Amino acid sequence: MERWQGTVENMAVNLEFWKNKTILITGHTGFKGAWLSLWLQSLGANVIGYALQPPTTPSLYEKADVASGMVPISGDIRDLQHLKTVFNEHQPDIVFHLAAQSLVRYSYQNPIETYETNVMGTLNVLEAIRSVNSVRAVILVTTDKCYENKEWVWAYRENEAMGGHDPYSSSKGCAELLIASYRHSFFSEDKFDEHKTAIASVRAGNVIGGGDWAEDRLVPDIIRAIQSKEIMTLRSPNALRPWQHVLEPLCGYMMLAEKLYNKGVEYAQGWNFGPLEADVKPVKWIVKSLIEAWGDTTDWTLSDNRENPHEANVLKLDCAKAHQMLSWWPRWDLNTTLVKIVDWHKAEQTKLSLKAACLKQISEYTHETIR
């Protein structure tokens, strides 16, 4: 597939749409949630956050002072009564559900917590939405790993079977089935005039960007290795993943939310947001390219595979539906994405404002011509 060319006017977030909208984000203290919170704040939205404390130290949420531009609420999505109280108090127009246990290897060590958070937490969010009349659009974030992975070379489409080998992937497949059930049972098309709520699930690729300090994620591990001058250990250097800058799927989520708000159940479906075929790269390519972009010479070694639990080797997403129905396309290729990550972390080293660094990249992404 050739890279699409055009200007941002062809596919963009409607800057005026978000002004004064009340947006509730679960998981606002996480990596994606913090970036989304800053973007919506910059557009004049009234942002309410509901989450536990940041999952890492340091965290983008704290480093970029995300809390200062929103109403942050400390809460667990497994606490249904508290969640309902927050929804009833703030009456959100749009909900983004990002709160999750999002690490594969952690899910092997803590399967009960993973299922409680990713399945029952999603159920609680849906029940909280049902407890109010204000919500018009809902974006429920799952993962590209929700599909039953057959280790084939073809990209997965939205109508493929749900599945998951490891507890994390399985929990997200379960969440997708739950979302579909609630869409049919409580937010159906034939009763839209009564509930007026359109819900969609979204499945993104391997999201990377500045400000991610999570354990067992490739880019944070590379940055740590560069900064500590240590040799990296790779589990699966040849594993193929759909890498994309964090702003890519967030743009898609926001474009979809606007469609749900304005068009209703027509867009209430599952959606993929991933990179073009050329940016599906093996792990070792990312390592080599990011180190080169940094201007460093850090090396890597292979870990003992016998110690590692199962993880998928090949994973690609077919995003034709988002291309055709939303006019959403990736803006930054993988080389550009890696440069943006280096720029962000070098700004961190020079003690520049990391909120300003985030907003600068959001502005660059919003106004840049598609290549």
More confident residue, 305 or 43: 43
Q: How many domains does the chain have?
A: 1
Residue 348 lies in a domain: yes
- At 103 the pLDDT is 86
Say if CB 119 and CB 175 are below 8 A apart. Answer: yes
Residue 3 lies in a domain: no
Residue 1 lies in a domain: no
Local structure of 278: helix, strand or coil: helix
- At 6 the pLDDT is 40
Residue 232 lies in a domain: yes
pLDDT digits (tens, 9 = 90+) for 257-285: 999 999 999 999 999 999 999 999 999 99
Rounded distance, CA 314 to CA 242, Å? 9
In eight-state DSSP terms, residue 137 is: E
Choose among 328, 160, 341, 147: nearest CA to 254: 328
Residue 130 lies in a domain: yes
- At 352 the pLDDT is 86
Q: Find the distance separating the first CA and the last CA of the chain, reported in whole Å.
A: 13
> What is the DSSP secondary-structure string of 42-87?
HTT-EEEEEE-S-SSSS-HHHHTTGGGGSEEEE--TT-HHHHHHHH
For 143, how many CA atoms within 13 A lie in the half-sphere containing its CB? 28
CATH number of residue 74's parent domain = 3.40.50.720
Residue 76 lies in a domain: yes
Local structure of 36: helix, strand or coil: helix
Residue whose token pair is 């699409």: 4
CA angle, 205 then 208 then 213, to 5°:
130
Residue 159 lies in a domain: yes
Local structure of 117: helix, strand or coil: helix
Rounded to the nearest 10 degrees, the angle between the axes of helix 31-42 and helix 354-367 is 70
User: Rounded to 5 degrees, what are φ and ψ at 122?
Assistant: -65, -40
Rounded distance, CA 258 to CA 292, Å? 39
- At 7 the pLDDT is 40
Residue 261 lies in a domain: yes
Task: Quickly state the pLDDT bin for 24 (edges 50, 70, 90).
Answer: very high
Give the burial class of 161: count Cβ atoms within 10 A of its Cβ; 0-12 exposed, 13-18 middle, 19 or more buried: exposed
pTM of the model as a whole: 0.94
Rounded distance, CA 14 to CA 256, Å? 11
3-state secondary structure 205-263: CEEECCCCCCCCCHHHHHHHHHHHCCCEEECCCCCEEEEEECHHHHHHHHHHHHHHHHH
Task: Quickly state the pLDDT bin for 211 (edges 50, 70, 90).
Answer: very high
Q: Is the pLDDT of residue 86 over 90?
A: yes
Question: By residue range, what is the domain housing residue 246?
Answer: 8-367
